Structure formats: C-alpha cells, structure tokens
Amino acid sequence: MTTTLSFQDQIKQGIPSELPAPKPYPAGANRAPKRKDILSADEKQLALRNALRYFPKEWHQELAAEFAEELKNFGRIYMYRFKPNYDLKARSVSDYPAKCQQAAAIMLMIDNNLDPAVAQHPEELITYGGNGAVFQNWAQYLLAMKYLSEIESDQTLHIYSGHPMGLFPSSEDAPRVVVTNGMMIPNYSQPDDWEKFNALGVTQYGQMTAGSFMYIGPQGIVHGTTITVMNAFRKVLEQGDSPKGKIFLTAGLGGMSGAQPKAGNIANCITVCAEVNPAAATKRHQQGWVDELIDNMDELVARVKTAQANEEVVSIAYIGNIVDVWETFYEQDIFIHLGSDQTSLHNPWSGGYYPVDISFEESNRLIREEPEVFKEKVQATLKRHADAVNKHTARGTYFFDYGNAFLLESSRAGGDVMAENGIDFKYPSYVQDILGPMCFDYGFGPFRWVCASGDPADLDKTDAIAAEVLNKIMAESPAEIQQQMQDNITWIKDAKQNKLVVGSQARILYADAQGRMEIAKAFNDAIARGDIGPVVLGRDHHDVSGTDSPFRETSNIYDGSRFTADMAIHNVIGDSFRGATWVSIHNGGGVGWGEVINGGFGMVLDGSSDAERRLKSMLLFDVNNGIARRSWARNEEANFAIKREMARTPKLKVTLPNGVDDEILNNLSL
C-alpha cells in the first residue's frame, strides 16, 4: 500500500525512494520551444549519462529511454515525471520544513518562481524570457529543496547552474546559498555554446532574477517601465501637456514584457502592445494587466483612432506581429509619440522574436525543423522592423531601445539602425537617456521585498511603512532627487489599487541607499514588534551596481569600461561577506548569453539586531559600489551622489575623477 506523503515530507525526501510513474504533459500548459538539435551522437550519450547520475542504477534502463525521447523531442532533458505532485506556489514561510528561517524563505522564493501564475514555461522550470531557468531539470529542484530543509545556520548550499553541489560548512555570517549560472570560459560564451552545454546538462541561463529566485512576476518591471514611460513623455511633451490620448507602441507580453500595458495605464497613455502568442496575450488580459484584446488590424486602427480622439487611458493587446502595426500605423497616419520593443531578442533564434507574414504555429515548426530558414526570416523581419521605425521617427516619434537587444540584433541583420559614425546606434538605450542619468547615477534602483507570511495584510502594512519613510526622507532631500522621490511616493501610494501582485505578496519601488536602508530598518523594527511576519529583501539585477551590460545597464558609461564586468563581480563578492542571505552571479541576463554579467542578492529580515546589522552593511555597499564606478566614469550625477554619501558615511572613501579640459587634448597630434 502506497502512503501519500505530506507536502513537508515530499520536500524532505528529495529524489523519491520509489520510481514515480510517467506524467502526461498537462493540457493547456505553455510549452517551451524545442531547442536546437546541436549534440553529436556521442554528446547525446554524455547528456544521458549526466542526467542518469541523479538516480539509482536500477532505474536507468527505464529512464534512459524516456530521457532520450525528451532530448529528441524537446532538445533538453527536463525529467517531467519527477515534477512534484503538490502545487508549486509561494506558501507561508512557516509551511516549509526547515532548520533555519533563512532556508524556508529561499524555498518560498524558489516555489514562487515556478508558480504557473508567475512562470512562463513552468513545466520546463523556465520563469521568463523564453530560457530564464530556475533549474535545468526536476531532479535539481528536488535536491535543492531537500538540502534547504536540512541546512543549518553554519552551512552554505552551493548551486552550479541549477545543480545543487552540496552543503559545505561555513559560518552564520556567510550566505546560506551561493548561486552561479552560465559562468563560462569567455571563449565558450557564444549562443551555440549555451545550446550545447545546456543540452549536456552542465550549465543554464538564469536570466536576471529567475536563476537567483528573486522574480516576483511582471510587477518587477512595471515600476521601471512606468518611470521610463513617464519620463519619456516628459522629454517629448510640452510642460503641462498630458500623456492622455498619446500612443506608446511596443511589443511583447511575456514574463517581463507583460508589464508594459500596466505601466502605460499608470503613466496615463494609450498603450498598444503586439504579441504573436495568443496564449501569452490572453494570460495578461485574464490577469488584468492589459485592458483589451484585438486580433484584427482594421479593428485595431479604428479603436486607436477613437482612443486618440477621446484622449483615453487604455492598454490594447494586438494579437499579431509588431511590424504589421508599425507599417499600418504609418499608412494610416497614426502618430506615435513613444516607440520601443520588449520582445526577447536576447534569444532571437528560439522563440524570442517571430518573423512577420508567418503564423505563430509555422514559426514554431521552423524553429524545430528548419532553424536556418527561421533565422533568415527573423533577420529579414528585423530589417523591415527597423525601416518602419525609421519612417515614424522621421515624423517625430521618440524611439528608444529597451535593452532587449533590438538594436544589436537589427544591426547584425543589416538593419538601418547605426549612427553616422558607424559605431553607435542611431537610437538611445532607455538607460542612456532616462534611467541612467535620472536614476542609476543617483543610486535609485529597483528595491523589492516579499512578505514571507503570505498575508496580504502584511503587504499593506509594508506599503504604508515605505510611504512614511519616503515622505520623511523627501522633506530633507536635495533638489536633484526631488522628482525621483515624488515618483516613488506616488507609486507606493497607488500600488495596491493597481493590482500588481502575481504570486507572492511582493512589492517593488525605486530607492537609493538611504531609502533602502531606512525602509529595511523600519520593516525589521515592525517584525520585532510582531506587527508583520518575516520579510525577504532583494532587487532586480537591473540596478545601480548589480549588472555590467554595455547596451543596457551600463550604456551611459562613457570612459570605455562598459565592456568590463568588475562591478558585477565585486557586487556579488561584497554582498556575500556583508550579510546577504544568498547571492548569485549570472552570464546572460536580459540582453543575451555572453553579452552581460549580473549579480543579485536576497536578504531575510527576522526582526533581530543581527538582521539590522546586516542590512546596514550590505545595502550601503550594494548601491554605492555602482555609484562609485559611475562617478569614476565622470558621470556628474553619480559624482554628486557619491560625495553626498561620503559626507553621511565617514568610513566611505572613494577615488574621485579629475576632469580634463577638451582644449588640452584637442591640441595634441594623435
């Protein structure tokens, strides 16, 4: 007689003691694209050996055939039959079996990243971006959760690209978990290297917050997108003019890009967002992230013209290709104030971007069966896409690259996106024009927290605490950051009514080091009083100092160092010995394998004096590491911010740059 194990016992068991029966693929699940068939026959045997080492030998005969079929059909071995039977979702921290609360909080965050309401391809353990994985397979998930149920406060779990290498003795001050994803030797960091070594089961693409367990659903980017869209309109509209009735045209409704229509609503404009995958568009509509669904171009044109005439605030998902929208709006003389793109162009050949004039289903067939033809059609579409954008910008549209590698891949496809110097792009990155000088250089970035109790009332209380702290700080803030402070106060006051929560009870806002530390201390004090339960702190890697990404996060670094990765490496090392509960470092992120290095952290607040010590030490460094680098690059805003921080923090001493007169250099013969 088989005994049904409880949720806690299933976690503590890890790999089951009895071989579970095969599982049928669930109907209606959003399946990940089939990956490239890139392994030789010998390498496929090696991939199977690598997968089977998780299991006892008596299971190998049966599992070898099954895993070989998965590798053939999907290009990866996901081990579907080992997916746990319990619902994957963020439970209360008290529901997890653990010897320390830090470990239970990490389990909560892992399960949230795999929640079907949150994850893009949950059956394949992919959270967002088409390939941003939490683990490579279900055996890794089971082992990691088992280790976390056993870990004590003087041990550290080391995870290599999803694989739980094991528990090692450390100390109470050490991180409980250290995560690396995709850390390749530089000469093996091309896209096909990811395809090959991921298929072998030895590395993975952790995106930015998937493989570091810090993804909180589209809310994680809603705020950044809102700030970007609001300030983009401020750049193009006359002072006092409203965004109402003005168009923001973009593409993508997947994991991260799904935030765009919600951000457009908050920014008070008309948002038109094209999405080729009907399931993704429908999911966002059902979740309330987009107001209307339209799959007919004539209907879209009529609806947009009506919205313009009535100066509406509305978000519209168009089920179709974005290139058709750009071209049709040009023909129909529909003026676009803001244009961008947030498709997954870091992953252009495996479903991150789809060619025009081909159905979604046919495109997926080409990915599987004729990848070279698919690539040709994608590149032809990128050229056509760029041409359409150029026509609109000639009429006055403000177009910005949203750091998704649109301009990079368009240039590689031969699209007309280069500036006259043949080196730079003709359109700015949104970090160059907006988030870099206005936010990152001043230390403002995506601070986030999760109420580990799972109680919505705790989230309401933390919202109120954060708003109170920000109001107090703003009263004494210099003029240079008043706009940033006000935008974030407005955001946090309206956060609940915008219905941003998907999965865990989480919140995000942009704050500088002072704001993060004071908000975190206020949370810790509230936990100590018993007003709220434990809180997990974190941030997006898309921040002041976590990421070195030359075409996005560090695109406004002009001293030649934007292609270096020292900042991100120092970030994760520095956070690890200053109090982080877990740290992560990734190759890949939102702009592509080999294009970026990004580091992240998680920190559990439990109301203790030790948590207060940790948050002050770690959050100060986590932000000011990046401000110091940006100041050294001669960014005026960062120079102002780091001098202000040094005045507040006597033991902070940062090397400051000396300026050079242009005349001295211009008179040299070089």
Kind of pairing between the strands at 506-511 and 445-451: antiparallel
Q: In angstroms, how far is CA 174 from the centroid of its own chain?
A: 25
Q: Which residues does residue 602 pair with via DSSP β-bridges, in sequence order?
A: 538, 582
User: Quick check: helix, strand or coil at residue 382?
Assistant: helix
In the chain, DSSP finds a helix count (H) and a strand count (E) of: 23, 17
Is 402 annotated in a binding site? The answer is yes
CB 486 within 8 A of CB 474: yes
Handedness of CA 208, 213, 215, 217 (dihedral sign): positive
Q: Give me the sheet containing 338-339, strands edge to edge.
A: 292-294, 314-319, 270-275, 247-251, 338-339, 398-399
> Which two structure tokens, joined as six digits, stand for 81?
């039959």
H or E, element range at 272: strand 270-275
Q: Quick one: tokens of 265?
A: 């609503």
Residue 129 assigned ligand-binding role: yes
**Helix, strand or coil for residue 293?**
strand
Is residue 431 within 8 A of residue 369, CB to CB? The reply is: no
CB 599 within 8 A of CB 585: yes
CA distance 382 to 39: 29
CA distances from 332 to 337, 396, 461 (A): 15, 16, 49
Q: In sequence order, which residues have a C-beta less than 8 Å from that of residue 236 and are 6 or more positions away?
A: 337, 338, 398
CB atoms within 10 A of CB 607: 20
Are 289 and 117 in contact by the 8 Å Cβ rule? The answer is: no
For 447, the token pair is: 């601070």
Annotated binding-site residue? 275: yes
Amino acid (one-letter) located at 413: A
Number of Cβ within a 10 Å radius of residue 153 = 15
Structure-token pair, residue 573: 């090392």
What distance lies between CA 597 and its chain's CA centroid? 13
User: What radius of gyration do the chain's Cα atoms show?
Assistant: 24
φ, ψ (nearest 5 deg) of residue 137? -155, 170
92 and 454 Cβ atoms separated by less than 8 Å: yes
Q: Which two tokens stand for residue 379?
A: 């590149």
Task: Consult the annotation and say whether 207 binds a ligand.
Answer: yes
Binding site membership: which residues? Answer: 129-130, 207, 275, 402, 590
Binding site membership for NAD(+): which residues? Answer: 129-130, 207, 275, 402, 590
